[in-house]
């Protein structure tokens, strides 16, 4: 982390996810050399699926030669992958009617082709959401439609009963396309990484070839097979889930019209650091008011302290987080703002840049790093 001589504020949030960027799909006929990425090797999760799709010219990487398998996959990139894999006609298409998809947009043909095929829909505001990350629930519906998957099975997931994606998740589970993030959770709001999406589409492609439900001529098996036990999430998956939850919390707060002090944009991943813009909504708020309402300053962070094991603000020492020291941690965050406690106001934060490291429970030894920019 960069050093800063000024004491730094409590920082906030993360969330996956969501690196802008790069070309993810390539035209058919790309050389097998496209399967080689600087950040993908035999030890990389989803290696087989990534190299399979790259060797077929379905996906490509970034201009710097990387694939960024751990970054959240964007909706425009998923459209390009699926249109390429399904060999849809992306030239003779009808305008899909999305406000943010114009005929000169690089992914116009892919998005229009998927819309025409009934595979994608936009948002209620009339946009497609090109750069938005894809959640696991959205992924389930997208893949079921794209590969025309059928069948259903009871799942062990306790967090999908109220999800609008429940039926699609059951179909993916029945076809062994997707497992849970734990033995009892699917986490439909978590973000899908680029590597994970590669594995999902490769497994869905195989499931479409081999039907799940036996034909009437085949005898019904008398001995059911044991379902594949979902694997425990890796440290990287745990981190991605945390980023996804924070992103979801930020969006809910921004839509609630109840912001009192500060508002935040969702994190954008750049050079292994999440960047968040913090807008000072009420610059006249005094320091005593902030201290009295420290839980409400950055609720998407403070409401998720129970998911952290440690936090480090700027160059300060790491603070271990326990069930009993929540107030102590929040007080330390306010102190790190380096306010004039007699005459200071929230507006004093304008122009400050705060760096923060968060260690996630079960997220391994490496923290998630954030850079917060405060502005009016």
Is residue 290 one of the residues assigned to a domain?
yes
In a domain, 138, yes or no: no
Determine if the pTM surpasses 0.85. Answer: no
Q: How far is CA 40 from CA 50, 129, 308, in A?
A: 8, 28, 29
CB atoms within 10 A of CB 21: 17
Q: What is the pLDDT along the chain (376 residues), one digit of tens a residue?
A: 444 433 333 333 323 332 333 434 443 333 333 347 999 998 888 999 999 999 998 988 888 889 999 999 999 999 999 999 999 999 999 999 999 999 999 899 999 999 999 999 888 999 999 999 999 999 999 999 999 999 878 899 999 999 999 999 999 999 999 888 898 999 999 999 999 999 999 999 998 854 444 445 555 555 555 655 555 678 888 888 888 888 888 887 777 766 778 888 888 888 888 888 888 888 888 888 877 877 777 887 888 888 888 988 888 888 888 877 777 777 777 777 777 767 888 888 888 888 888 999 888 899 999 888 888 8
- Determine, yes or no, domain membership for 267: yes
Which residue in the block uniquely carries the two structure tokens 């030669």? Answer: 65
pLDDT at 188: 93
Q: Provide the domain limits for residue 272.
A: 236-375
Instruction: Answer yes or no: is 265 within a domain.
Output: yes
Q: Is 365 part of any domain? A: yes
For residue 354, CA distances in Å to 277, 301, 365, 367, 369 come to: 10, 14, 22, 16, 11
Provide the number of structural domains found in the chain.
1
Q: Is residue 98 part of a domain?
A: no
Please report whether residue 260 resides in a domain.
yes
Note whether residue 348 is domain-resident: yes
């Amino acid at each position: 982390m960069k050093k800063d001589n000024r004491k730094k504020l409590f920082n906030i949030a993360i969330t996956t996810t969501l690196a802008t960027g790069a070309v993810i799909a390539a035209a058919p006929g790309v050389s097998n050399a496209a399967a080689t990425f600087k950040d993908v090797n035999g030890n990389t999760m989803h290696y087989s699926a990534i190299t399979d799709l790259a060797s077929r010219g379905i996906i490509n990487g970034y201009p710097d030669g990387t694939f960024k398998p751990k970054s959240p996959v964007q909706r425009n990139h998923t459209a390009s992958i699926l249109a390429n894999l399904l060999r849809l006609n992306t030239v003779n298409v009808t305008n899909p009617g999305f406000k943010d998809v114009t005929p000169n947009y690089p992914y116009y043909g892919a998005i229009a082709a998927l819309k025409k095929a009934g595979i994608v829909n936009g948002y209620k505001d009339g946009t497609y959401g090109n750069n938005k990350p894809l959640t696991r629930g959205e992924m389930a519906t997208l893949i079921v439609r794209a590969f025309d998957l059928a069948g259903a099975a009871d799942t062990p997931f306790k967090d999908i009963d109220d999800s609008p994606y429940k039926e699609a998740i059951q179909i993916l589970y029945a076809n062994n396309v997707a497992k849970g993030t734990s033995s009892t959770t699917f986490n439909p709001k978590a973000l899908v990484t680029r590597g994970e999406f590669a594995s999902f589409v490769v497994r869905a492609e195989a499931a479409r070839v081999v039907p799940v439900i036996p034909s009437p001529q085949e005898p019904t098996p008398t001995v059911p097979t044991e379902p594949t036990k979902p694997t425990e999430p890796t440290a990287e998956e745990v981190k991605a889930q945390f980023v996804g939850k924070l992103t979801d919390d930020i969006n809910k707060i921004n839509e609630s019209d109840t912001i009192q002090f500060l508002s935040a944009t969702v994190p954008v991943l750049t050079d292994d650091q999440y960047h968040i813009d913090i807008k000072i909504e009420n610059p006249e708020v005094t320091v005593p008011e902030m201290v009295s309402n420290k839980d409400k300053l950055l609720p998407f962070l403070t409401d998720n302290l129970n998911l952290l094991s440690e936090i480090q603000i700027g160059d300060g020492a790491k603070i271990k987080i326990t069930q009993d020291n929540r107030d102590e941690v929040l007080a330390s965050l306010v102190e790190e703002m380096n306010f004039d406690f007699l005459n200071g106001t929230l507006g004093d934060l304008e122009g400050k840049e705060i760096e923060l490291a968060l260690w996630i429970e079960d997220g391994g030894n490496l923290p998630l790093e954030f850079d917060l920019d405060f502005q009016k």
